[in-house]
Each structure stands twice: as structure tokens, then as C-alpha cells.
Structure 1
Amino acid sequence: MQYYHADVFCNEPMTGNGLTVFIAKAFPERTVMQQIAREFRQFETIFLVQRSDAVFDARIFTVEEELDFAGHPVLGAAAVVQHEFFQEASNTVLFNLNSKQVSVFCAPQGDLYDCCMDQGPAEFICTPEPEEYTTYLQPLNLTPHHIAAGFPLEVVSTGLPYLLVPLASGLEQARIVVADYESRLARIGAKFAYVFDVNAVEGRTWDNAGMVEDIATGSAAGPVGAYLYKHSRFSTSQEILLRQGRFAGRDSEISIRRDKASGNMLVNGQVRLLVRGECLQGM
């Protein structure tokens, strides 16, 4: 099986969020894909099977589990497809994920690829009551005093539901400090939490064990953008630039827009391909 190592949401080589992209004739067994993801130890690994010229089935794994959707793997996969199958001509690639289809427009620009993903409309799932805030903030080493005035906690999804935690302060001290945070989030229909400074427009998120901080989270960017538009932090005509990764030493930038015609959330980032290889064993 052929694979690429790519960096997504990067400004320069070896910045942004690392990713492994595998291209196969057929998907390996699920347990094998999980083992490969653990072997390569990126925050996420994506496996592709081509169905037609620009249509690919895709499956995404963290080191712990398979995900129905994730943002930076889809963008990185689009750059790999562009490089492998289309070279210099810009193209739109469709990815069939477990629960939705996502399109990515990819344009080569010298030694990088500019990729824009249509995440579809945002779904506003749940708004916890203020008296419940401590249940979700204390595990993040935060208190209600850190929350930005006029910005409620809210669960929002464009394919992967996040509890959005809008802060006026405290971003630097945020971290997961409990072992059962995933089960707490599940009570309100969230898979992960994403904390972000409303004024600086900078965010952070982790695996639910709090062991690994993600560098740039495309699946959260669409929900964050929809939230900031909904609560009038930005007008819908404005592009939002979301920073992430500073605390992990990999400062990254994600561009977010809402499509005027459809209302869909568009998430854009630059991708660089660094390594091409072949997996010889374990298939």
C-alpha cells in the first residue's frame, strides 16, 4: 500500500498538522487499519480507495478509534489525490465517508496545495444551561469566570459534534484533568470539546484522555465559524482566520467562510506533501 506524509494548515514546510494518507485497492481489515494508525502515531490517519476519477471512499482513524469525519485528513487526502492523479490541473475531489460525502476543491500552487473543503451546513445540537457549566468546565481546568460574556457553551457539528467553549481568558491553562470527560460530553451529544478565545480567535482541543493536543482541527473549524457568525462575532461576509497549535509548538492557521448561496461552511488550508513511501508488511 502506498502512503504519503503531509502537513495540513501549514505556512512553511514541517509546520501545521501532520497526517498519513494511504492509497489502497481495497480497504484492509478494520483491525489492520487501526494497527497502522497506531504504528504511524499521527493524530489521524486516512485510508483511500478510488471509486472513479475523482471519487474516493475514505476511512479515518485516530490511534484509538475510527471517526466518521475529520477535517485535516480530508484536506490532506485531497492534496495527495491531486498530486497522484491530476498533477497541475485544479480539481474537485469527492470523499465518501462513513456518514456523509465531502467535496474538496484543490488547487496546486507551486510546492503546496490550496484546499477548500465544503463541510455542509452546521447543526446546532444543544446549549447547556449555565448551571451545568461547571460539569463541563471543571474537567478543562476552567471556571465560568473564563467564559466570554454573551457567548454560551454550545454543541455544534458539521459531521463531528463539538462542545464549543468560548473564552475571554484562560486559554493557556486549559487542559483535560479528568479521566471520564468523554462520557460527560456524551450526555449532551458531543464527541470532543473545543476551547477558543473569542477575541484572539485561537483554539485548542485534545483527545478525550487529555494525552495529546491536536495541532489544527478542521472538523472543529466549521462549527466554530458557524458559531461566531451566529453570535455576531463576525458578519457572514467576513472570512475568519482561526489560529491553533501554538501550545503544541506547531502554529497553524485555518480559514473559514460561509458560502453565500448554500450557507454551507467552507474550511480552507494549505497542504504540503513531504514523504512518499510504501508499506511492505502488516497488510
Structure 2
Amino acid sequence: MRYYHADVFCKEPMTGNGLTVFIAKAFPERTVMQQLAREFRQFETIFLVQRSDAVFDARIFTVEEELDFAGHPVLGAAAVVQHEFFQEASGTVLFNLNSKQVSVFCTAQGDSYDCCMDQGPADFIYAPEPEVYARYLQPLNLTVHNIAAGFPLEVVSTGLPYLLVPLASGLEQAHIVVADYESRLAQIGAKFAYVFDVNAVEGRTWDNAGMAEDVATGSAAGPVGAYLYKHNSFSLSQEILLRQGRFAGRDSKISIRRDKTSGNMLVSGQVRLLVCGDYLQGI
């Protein structure tokens, strides 16, 4: 298998969110893919198998588990496909994920790639009652006093459901302080929590153990954009620039738009390919 190390949602080399992309003739055993994700220790690792010229099956792993969808791996994989398989400067790639198909339009720009992912429509799944907010805020080292007035907690998904936590203050103090947060989130249909300052449009998220902070979360960006449009923070004609990664030392920016025709959420960012190599274990 050939592999690439890429940076996604970056402004220059070795910024943004790191990613490993593997290209295989067939998917290895699931245990092997999980072991490789742990070996490379990026927030996510994506494996690709080509089905036709611009259609690829894809599987995404964190160091702990397989995910049905994630944003920055799909964007980074599109840049790798553009580099490896396309002759033209731009093109559209279709990725068959475990539970959905995602298209990415990618354009080569010198030594980087501009990639735009169509995440489809946002699904507003559940809004907890304010009386139970503390159950989800206390594990994040937050209180109801940190919540932005007029902005409810809400579970929103474009493929991966996030509990969105809109803040007026406290972004710098937020972190996961309990061991059972994943089970609490599961009770309301969420996989992860994403906290964000509604005024600065800056967000943070972590693995549910609170051990690793994500640098730039494309799968959360679509839900955050849909949420901000719904609650009139931005007009539907405005682009939203979501900042993330400052607290992890890798400041990143994610561009979010809502397609005027379809209503689908479009998430864009710059990708740079840093390293290419071959996995030599006979797979």
C-alpha cells in the first residue's frame, strides 16, 4: 500500500490537522487498519480502494475505533486522489463511506489543494431541555452561565452527530473532566460534543476520554454552520469561517457555506501533501 501524510485546513505546511491516507487494492483486515491507525497516531487515518476513475470506497479510523464519517480525512483523501490519479487541475471525487456517499471538488493550486466537500443536508436530531443542561455542561468544565443567550444546546449531524454547545464565555476553560461522557452523549443521540464561541466563531472538541484535542473538525463544521444559519447568526448568503486548533498549537480555519439550490452544507479547506511512502508488510 502507498500512503501519504497530509495536512488539512492548513495555511502553510505543517499546520492544520494531520492525516494519513492509505491507497490499497483491497481493504486489509479491520484489525490491521486499526493497528495502522494506532501506529501513525493521527486523529484519523483513512483507507482508500478505487472502484472507478473517480469513485473510491473509504474507511476511516481513529486510534480507538472506526467512524462512519469524518470531515478532514475525506478532504485530505480528495487531494491525494487528485495528485495520484487525475491529470486535470481540478475534478470531483466520490467517496463511498460506511453509511453515505460524499463528493469533494478539488483544485490543485501550486503546491496545495483547495477542496470543497458536500456533506449533504444537516439533520437537527435533538434539543435537550434547559433543565438538564448541567448534565452535559459539567463534564465539559462549563456551567449554564457560559451559554450564549438565545442559543440552545442541540444535537446536529451531517453524518456524525455532535452535541453543539454554543458559548458566550469559557472556551479557554472547556475540557472533558469525566470518564463516562460518551455514554451520556449517547443518551441524546450524539457521538461527540463540540463547544464553540458564537461571537468569535471558534470551536473545540476532543475524543470522549478528553485525552486528545482535535485540531480541525470537518464533520462538526457542517453542523455548526447549519446551526448558525438556523439561529440567524449569519445570512444564508454569507460564508462562515470557523476557527479551531489554537489551543492545540495548530490554528486552523474551516470555510462553511450552504448551497443555495440544494441546502446542503459545503465545507472547504486547503490541503498540503507532505510525505509519501510505501507500507512494506506485504499487504
- Per the normalisation by structure 2, the TM-score is 0.99
Runs of 4+ with >2 A deviation? none
Equivalent residue, structure 1, for 2:61 = 61
Query: How much is the aligned-residue C-alpha RMSD, in angstroms?
Result: 0.6
**Aligned partners of 1:90 and 1:43: how far apart in 2?**
27
Equivalent residue, structure 1, for 2:50 = 50
- Structure 1 residue identity aligned to 2:215: I
**Aligned partners of 2:31 and 2:208: how far apart in 1?**
21
SS where residue 226 of structure 2 aligns?
Answer: helix
**Aligned partners of 1:231 and 1:282: how far apart in 2?**
52
Q: Does 1:253 align with 2:283?
A: no
Q: Deviations over 1:57-100 (max 9, x none)?
A: 00000000000000000000000000001144210000000000
Q: Deviations over 1:233-259 (max 9, x none)?
A: 000100000000000000000000000
Alignment of 1:1-283 (within 5 A): 1-281=1-281, 283=283
**Percentage identity across aligned positions?**
90
SS where residue 102 of structure 2 aligns?
Answer: strand
SS where residue 275 of structure 1 aligns?
Answer: strand
**Aligned partners of 1:233 and 1:248: how far apart in 2?**
26
Compared with structure 1, are the counterparts of its residues 282 and 153 closer, same or farther at alpha carbon in structure 2 (3 Å cutoff)?
farther
Structure 1 alignment gaps of length 5 or more: none
- Structure 2 residue identity aligned to 1:58: A
- Per the normalisation by structure 1, the TM-score is 0.99
**Aligned partners of 2:89 and 2:17: how far apart in 1?**
25
**Aligned partners of 2:215 and 2:89: how far apart in 1?**
29
Deviation at 1:282, TM superposition (A): 7.0
Deviation at 1:232, TM superposition (A): 0.2
Deviation at 1:201, TM superposition (A): 0.1
Matched residues, number: 283
**Aligned partners of 2:99 and 2:235: how far apart in 1?**
30
SS where residue 156 of structure 2 aligns?
Answer: strand
Deviation at 1:172, TM superposition (A): 0.1
**Aligned partners of 2:282 and 2:235: how far apart in 1?**
50
**Aligned partners of 1:220 and 1:116: how far apart in 2?**
15
SS where residue 64 of structure 2 aligns?
Answer: coil
Structure 2 alignment gaps of length 5 or more: none
